[in-house]
Amino acid sequence: MSQIKIEDVKTMFERTGLHSHIKGLGVKDDKVQFNADGFVGQVEAREAAYYVVKMIKNGKFGGKAVLIVGPPGTGKTALAIGIARELGQDTPFVQMSGAEIYSMEIKKTEFLTRALRRAIGVRIKEWRRVYEGVVRNVDYQYGKHPYNPYAQIPRGATITLKTKDEERRLRVSAEIAEQLIELGVEDGDVIMIDEETGRVLIQGRENNGGETYDIGIKRRVDIPNGPIYKEKEITRFFTLNDLDIYQAKQQGLMSAMLFGFASEEKEIPGEVRRAVDEFVVKLINDGKGELIPGVLFIDDVHMLDIETWAYLSRAMESELSPIIIMATNRGVTKIRGTDIESPHGVPLDMLDRLVIIRTRPYNADEIREILRIRAKEERVELGVDAIEELTKLGVEESLRYAIQLLAPTQLRASEMGRKEVTKDDIEYVRKLFLGVKESVRYVKEYENYFLK
């Protein structure tokens, strides 16, 4: 196996905006609160999820997975996110739909393997020789561009770094000078330069009690102590999939990835993943790394076929396996790829291995509170009559339909010269956008005009 250089591994961050208000499961003093951490209601389901969290933290969840079942719009995805939040802010959370595995480009098993390994994090600690300090001056040296006589490129730079105990003037190469320019390094920035790779990292802005801003990009940090040139422990976070891709590129097995295209079409060989696993296990055994199992959330699991269920069953028993949480809104339905009917479209032998959590439809009081939370999250001001009208629609139509009306009603209120949404705005917008029940009535009324 070629040596993996951690600084060259690229990572990708994912964010789920729809459930950004979910901060946890709403548990205080081991008791589930009716309204907390962005959750409202579903107390029984959240209590069950909290027990799952405790089993995971106590190391008693091996070989198991969670299945969340319930009608549409009852908080199944939010429950999965809540579990991940309770496990820790660094816990990787990967979300996918059961239909995503059917790709014409890569095999189902390859797609699932990548998803599983994206949901496993590795926190790596290593000692590096670095130059660290606050920038006191940067002087760039420029030369002619080799191909464009009208342009100049940096040939190097001279930078002055200072700590509380030392000040040094350093000459740096063109590669480091280019990074300083690209990052916008200026006097007062606290930076770190890796001696081996030349990688430049801005740690923040000097905290000297000078001019401050209400809004700023760079966080304030203290001037470092000690010498400028030192050995320092660096902590970085990656996923197993990040390491897989890097190792495959190093071995020339995914050469197309070097040019920024076709990165997802080629399958990563099993020997590459085994080599990465050995590398990670060695890091952990040497005390240089820490494994962070995350959450793989598979929605619409009734879309998975019998082959995929067999693969997931084996994956659950792996030592390097994330917490698998699944969700479905189906009742008794056929297992895809067979003529066999089963609860939720899940094979019975698999159902027997799952911890099943059920959600229930929300009542009017719960819908009202959820709408208040979502309105606050989307910065929509709702009048009292508007809240009640949306609550009524949430009960009669669906909670999702009521939430979807928040944005257009805010636009309508703005057009009418108001900040606050009223009942009139909701009634106006409701005529433009149909709910599920009205859509069904529309189809029945004009059934003869639709193509069959």
pLDDT one-digit tens code per residue, 298-323: 999 999 989 889 988 888 888 778 88
DSSP lists the bridge partners of residue 185 as none
Q: How many helices (H) and strands (E) does the chain have?
A: 14, 21
**Predicted local confidence at residue 211, as pLDDT:** 56
Phi then psi for 328, rounded to 5 degrees?
Answer: -155, 150
Given a contact cutoff of 8 angstroms between Cβ atoms, the answer to whether 294 and 322 are in contact is yes
For residue 254, pLDDT over 50 is answered with no
Averaged confidence pLDDT in the chain:
83
Q: Is 5 exposed, middle or buried (0-12, 13-18, 19+ CB in 10 A)?
A: exposed
Domains 6-119+294-358 and 125-236 share a fold: no
pLDDT confidence of residue 424: 93
Work out the angle at residue 212's Cα, subtended by the Cα atoms of residues 208 and 218, and round it to the nearest 5 degrees.
85
Q: Which residue has the tokens 């789920």?
A: 16
- In this prediction, residues 241-246 reach a mean pLDDT of 85
Instruction: Look at residue 253 in the predicted model and tell me its pLDDT.
Output: 52
Cα(426)–Cα(278) distance, integer angstroms: 59
Instruction: Among 1.10.1740.10, 3.30.1330.60, 3.40.1350.10, 2.40.50.360, name the CATH number for the domain at 125-236.
Output: 2.40.50.360
Written out in words, the top-level CATH class of the domain with range 364-445 is mainly alpha
Structure tokens belonging to residue 178: 């280019």
pLDDT tens, 263-308? 445 688 888 888 888 888 888 888 888 888 889 999 999 999 898 8
The encoded tokens of residue 97 equal 């739909």
Question: At which residue do the structure tokens 């690229």 appear?
Answer: 10
Task: Burial-class residue 67 by CB neighbours within 10 Å (0-12, 13-18, 19+).
Answer: buried
Strand, helix or coil for residue 108: helix
pLDDT, tens digit, 9 for 90 and up, residues 119-130: 888 888 878 889
Question: Which residues is 190 bridged to in the sheet?
Answer: 134, 204
Distance between CA atoms of 243 and 398, rounded to whole angstroms? 43
342 or 219, which is more confident? Answer: 342
pLDDT of residue 8: 53
Fold entry, domain 6-119+294-358: Rossmann fold (3.40.50)
| Number of residues assigned to the chain | 452
Q: Is 285 helix (H, G, I), strand (E, B) or coil?
A: helix
254 or 439: which leads in pLDDT = 439
- Going by the DSSP 8-state scheme, the letter that residue 238 receives in this structure is E
CA 226 – CA 162 distance, rounded (Å): 10
Instruction: For the chain, give the percent of residues with pLDDT over 70.
Output: 89
Contact 357, 66 (CB under 8 A): yes
Query: What is the structure's pLDDT at 257?
Result: 42
Residues facing residue 133 across a β-bridge: 191
Question: Over 60: is that where the pLDDT of 192 sits?
Answer: yes
Instruction: Give 98-131 as a DSSP string.
Output: GGGG--SSS-HHHHHHHHHHHTEEEEEEEEEEEE
Domain boundaries, the chain: 6-119+294-358, 125-236, 364-445
High-pLDDT (> 90) share of the chain, % = 25
Cβ pair 129, 233 in contact under 8 A: no
| Other CB atoms within 10 Å distance of the CB of residue 111 | 19
Q: Give the model confidence (pLDDT) of 4-53 as tens digits.
A: 555 555 444 443 345 666 777 888 888 888 888 778 888 899 899 999 99
Cα(249)–Cα(256) distance, rounded to whole angstroms? Answer: 9
Identify which of 111, 69, 119 has the alpha carbon closest to the alpha carbon of residue 311. Answer: 111
Q: What is the pLDDT of residues 50-101, one digit of tens each?
A: 999 999 888 888 778 999 999 888 888 889 988 988 888 778 888 999 888 8
Q: Residue 94 and residue 82: Cα distance in Å, rounded?
A: 13
